[in-house]
Amino acid sequence: MTSPEAALVDMTGVDKRFGSTLALSGVDLSISAGQCLGLVGRNGAGKSTIVSILSGLEAPDAGTVRFAGGPAPRVGDVSRWREWIATVFQHSMVVPDLSVAENVFLGGADRFLHWRDMRARTREVMRDWGYDIKAETRCRELTVEQLQIVEIARALARGARCVVLDEPTAALEREAVRRLFTRVRQLTSSGVAVLYISHHLEEVFEICDDVCVLRDGKRVLTAPVADLSKDNLIVAMVGAVPAAAGAASAACKATESSVRATEEPVLVVENLTASSTAGKLAGVSLRVGPGEVVGVTGLLSAGVATLGRAIAGAEGHDGGQVRVRGQIIPAGQRAAAQRAGIGYIPEDRRADGFVAHLGVAENATMTITGRLADRLGLLRPRSRAAAAAPVTAALSLVSAGPGQPVRELSGGNQQKVTVARTLVHDPGLIVAITPTRGVDVASKALLLESLASAARRDGAGVLLCTDELSDLVICDRVIVLVRGEVFTEFTEPAFDRDQLIVATEGITVDGTAEEAAQ
Amino acid sequence: MISNQAPDGSATTASTPGTGAAMLPRGTLLAGRLRTTNIGVLREVALLPVLVLLIVVGAVVSPVFLTVTNIAGIGQQISALGVVVVGESLILLIGGMDLSLESTFGLAPMIAAWLILPVSAFGSGAQISPYLGLLVLLAVGAAVGLVNGVLIVKGRLNGFIVTLGMTIVLAGLQNGIVKAQTLFNLPKAFGYLGSAYFGQVPVSLVVTAIIFVLVGLFLRYHRTGRAIYAVGGNAAAARAAGIKVERVKIGVYIAGSMLAAVGGLMEAGRVSAVTGQQGYGEGIIFSVFAAAVIGGVSLKGGRGNMVGAASGVILLGVVQNILDLANVSSYWIEAIDGAVILFALFLARIVGGESSAEEK
């Protein structure tokens, strides 16, 4: 499809094996100058492995990587590799205590640092590309978006002709995503090749010229996006039409959102205030009834995650009250909140979701060791595995066995471990914060369905705090936060995406901007 | 235009939605299980080849080496160290560190003996019963651990600095209360643990072995033991799962210091005295860390077990014994000892893979 003689990056017949799993098999991928190629696939399809190989961090077992027709540098010779291709990883690789200039030239080929020169060259890159970040600023003071720019600038300063963006929008707000797209277009129009990896198919359609789909380590499709529909793409990724997504929403609508107001609510939050760097709360009140799924959404700084954490006891609050089934939950005591029946699916699974080197079953049952242990407090690995099995099976969690360390699982399966850990203790209330972030389409439907069924079947209350509007399909009600206050509430599913977006911006339906009072 | 090279359906069942772990072929599960088990076992016996090699070296160096008396002697010598290593390993497992165990090792038996002995023997004159003295010993250990734990966990102070400061304070107390005298004439009940024998087997060795086994089983099968691994592996995740992280940590600091006190009791019994040098003066903390780390207990927390820690202790004891038997000049013994420890660390790293060095 693209002229073969000019491919800037050319991967042919690449195989990569990790232990007994074949992560990649015979994958061909080529990117030409000025092209933006999307790379999509489910969790575990091999995207991360391709990133590792293209970044020169791992050597392929078979096959070759060539840059502009010549052989790639030795694997591990990171500095020379970066002259061709640079990766902006999903998790920031910027050293927070160094200045922007130092980070831009971190690990560069120069033996001695020429401070003035370094700052001048950083300023030059920033100016040439129209980025507005000072070379002297300490990176700790930058926003997520700015950190990403520093990483892009790092690639450009080294003269890399290809930039790999791995899930670049995962932590960005809508406006920032728009600005990122402008920057990507700017890159491609000046001849830089971009490999764009994302779970968000609409982004791929918006920004990419071509898309390459991986499934089970094989390339199943490469085509210009103009020739594809979203359904084509999903079918290629999943291998079948994902019925689960439809089923989840159907199940949601089938169960009547009955007059739950009369029942005693599971969760009562009254006038909750909290000051958190991630977004403060300025007096939030809400109720969640048994069997009810309530969504909370808003911009990143609106306090959505803070609200979830405060209710789950993972973070303290300054004022107001959280009650579960009439019992007051002490501020910031996660263990007490759990005893009161609050299950918690934390936002950042790598940081809070599991213990990486412990097994799947042990992680999945971490919340119920008290129940599994005998009188002496002893736990049998077998009873742990038995307790974990039904939940992990219901979530279609794929692992080599209950003892496999969670570290070895793909991102989506790791998230399932975190969800399993919560569901396994039959919580009366589940607080889930962005539970589908970084999870592929099919797993996403499954996770949402499991939350919905915890509500419909087991009568738990679910508070779904998310900035992912498509997750809200399982909700009975959606509360929109703006600057730490309840801005509005949508009570009638299905929720209109555009109306939700407008509401999160703090704009009332008739179009007039309304300043939420402080 | 669309090149949809669909792979054959059979190969992809494992990751198609709707099927999952339950649908995995039995063979895969079994293979995975075998694989994990094998790696675990390999790591636990990582030091075995080194130990075998050392025993061969010992047998060559001296005909005395393989005699029952000598082996019992090694056992008695390493028992005290072993108990402290158990304590330090627990603290390392929760991701902490405690340098002050070496001072507790000296101070706890010193306070107990001081309260037991009459003024004529440089005691306090309180002349409490030796059995009460044993309780005092444990209480001193618990108190030191509590102070350390509270300062580190609740006060959020750096564990290295807190316990370094504590080390010096406690060692000062140890000398201060007896004005740098040595306490002899310990009552029999007090010295029993460190000096008595069951036939040819030292009591201290039996007790230490029991402690290793019990703590090992506790770590493997008790919910609090598993919580220790969870807290050390990822404290935030453990907290989110409802584990009382602070309580577990403080509890482990207390248990670690109490074990150090018991180790100190063994040492006092073995040498029939409590000196101002015991513990801090001898600098045992290096051996304690070396044994734990050689045995694969991670300095970053969350990884390690008692089988490894025990083999680390045995290795140090055997090396020390061989150096003694080989009549290595006492001027050189420390240099050689240190070099052997470094070599053992290196070897453990090779055999045990990532056991002593961590990936991020």
Over residues B106-160, the pLDDT tens digits come to: 999 999 999 999 999 899 989 999 999 999 999 999 999 999 999 999 999 999 9
Domain ranges of chain B: 49-352
Name the strands in the sheet holding A319-324, side by side, starting at the edge strand that comes first in the sequence. A281-288, A267-274, A319-324, A327-328
In whole angstroms, what is the distance from residue A192 CA to residue B330 CA? 68
Give residues with Cβ within 8 angstroms of B295, minimum separation 6. B47, B85, B89, B304, B307, B308, B309, B310, B311, B312, B313, B348
Mean pLDDT, rounded, for A249-265: 50
Q: Which of A220, A377, A392 sits opposite B5 (nearest CB)?
A: A220
Q: What angle do CA A281, A287, A290 make, to 5 degrees?
A: 140
What is the predicted pLDDT for the residue at A514? Answer: 44
Please give the residue of chain B at the shortest CA–CA distance from A42: B15
Task: Verify whether the Cβ–Cβ distance A395 to B24 is below 8 Å.
Answer: no
% of chain A with per-residue pLDDT over 70: 91
In whole angstroms, what is the distance from residue A474 CA to residue A173 CA? 22
CB contacts under 8 A, B 223-282 vs A, are: 223-224, 226-227, 229-230, 233-234, 236-244
Instruction: Report whether pLDDT(A247) > 50.
Output: no
CB contacts under 8 A, B 12-71 vs A, are: 12, 14-22, 24, 28-29, 31-33, 35-37
Task: Verify whether the Cβ–Cβ distance B302 to A355 is below 8 Å.
Answer: yes
Number of cross-chain residue pairs from A and B with Cβ atoms under 8 Å apart: 161
Chain A residues with CB-CB distance to B35 below 8 A: 19-20, 400
Ordered alpha helix ranges (H), A260-329: 304-312
What is the predicted pLDDT for the residue at A334? Answer: 94
DSSP string, A395-445: TT---S-TTSBGGGS-HHHHHHHHHHHHHTT--SEEEEESTTTT--HHHHH
- Taken in order A365, A366, A371, A376, is the CA torsion positive or negative? positive
Name the strands in the sheet holding A477-482, side by side, starting at the edge strand that comes first in the sequence. A342-345, A429-433, A461-465, A293-298, A477-482, A485-490
CA A186 from centre of chain: 25
Query: Where do the domains of chain A lie, and which CATH numbers do they carry?
Result: 4-241 (3.40.50.300), 244-341+427-518 (3.40.50.300), 348-422 (no CATH)
Mean pLDDT, rounded, for B193-213: 95
Instruction: Report whether pLDDT(A470) > 60.
Output: yes
Instruction: Report whether pLDDT(B243) > 70.
Output: yes
CA atoms lying within 13 Å on the CB side of residue B297: 33
- Taken in order A81, A86, A90, A93, is the CA torsion positive or negative? positive
What is the predicted pLDDT for the residue at A500? Answer: 86
CB contacts under 8 A, B 85-124 vs A, are: none
Q: Work out the pLDDT band at B42, boundaries 50, 70, 90.
A: low
Cβ pair B174, B107 in contact under 8 A = yes
Q: Cis omega before residue A452 (within 30°)?
A: no
Give residues with Cβ within 8 angstroms of B328, minimum separation 6. B336
Average pLDDT of the residues of chain A: 85
Closest CA of chain A from B139, distance in Å? 24
Q: Which of B2, B12, B20 sits opposite A396 (nearest CB)?
A: B20
What is the predicted pLDDT for the residue at A398? Answer: 87
Mean pLDDT, rounded, for A13-19: 87
Top pLDDT among A493 and B236 is at B236
Most confident of A177-186, A499-508, B77-86: B77-86
Give residues with Cβ within 8 angstroms of A450, minimum separation 6. A394, A395, A419, A423
Please give the residue of chain A at the shortest CA–CA distance from B33: A401
Q: Which of B17, B37, B240 sits opposite A244 (nearest CB)?
A: B17
Average pLDDT of the residues of chain B: 85
Query: Encoding tokens for residue B90?
Result: 């627990």
Instruction: Report whether pLDDT(B353) > 70.
Output: no
DSSP B20: -
Chain A residues with CB-CB distance to B224 below 8 A: 377
Residues in chain B: 360
Q: Work out the pLDDT band at B358, boundaries 50, 70, 90.
A: very low
Task: Verify whether the Cβ–Cβ distance B237 to A399 is below 8 Å.
Answer: no
Chain A residues with CB-CB distance to B32 below 8 A: 399-401, 403-404
| B10 reaches A (C-beta below 8 A) | no
In whole angstroms, what is the distance from residue B191 CA to residue B183 CA? 12
Q: Which of B4, B29, B236 sits opposite A352 (nearest CB)?
A: B236
Angular region, B283: left φ>0, alpha ψ -120 to 50, beta rest: left
Pairing of strands A281-288, A85-88: unpaired
Domain B49-352 has CATH 3.30.70: no
- Least confident among A273-277, A352-356, B255-259: A273-277
A181: helix, strand or coil? helix
In whole angstroms, what is the distance from residue A31 CA to residue A194 CA? 8
Among the listed residues A271, A514, A309, A319, the one whose alpha carbon sits nearest the alpha carbon of residue A431: A309
What is the predicted pLDDT for the residue at B355? Answer: 43
Q: Which of B11, B15, B223 sits opposite A377 (nearest CB)?
A: B223
What is the predicted pLDDT for the residue at A317? Answer: 92
Helix (H) or strand (E) holding B198: strand B197-198
Residues in chain A: 518
What is the predicted pLDDT for the residue at A343? Answer: 95
Most confident of A15-24, A144-153, A284-293: A284-293
What is the predicted pLDDT for the residue at B183? Answer: 93
Mean pLDDT, rounded, for B72-76: 92
DSSP B298: -
Instruction: Report whether pLDDT(B78) > 90.
Output: yes
What is the predicted pLDDT for the residue at B127? Answer: 92
In whole angstroms, what is the distance from residue B84 CA to residue B287 CA? 10
Helix (H) or strand (E) holding B167: helix B159-177
Q: Work out the pLDDT band at A175, boundaries 50, 70, 90.
A: confident
Among the listed residues A198, A137, A128, A206, the one whose alpha carbon sits nearest the alpha carbon of residue A170: A198
Top pLDDT among A502 and B42 is at A502
Q: Which of B1, B7, B223 sits opposite A216 (nearest CB)?
A: B7
Instruction: Report whether pLDDT(B219) > 90.
Output: yes
What is the predicted pLDDT for the residue at A111? Answer: 66
% of chain B with per-residue pLDDT over 70: 84
| B360 reaches A (C-beta below 8 A) | no
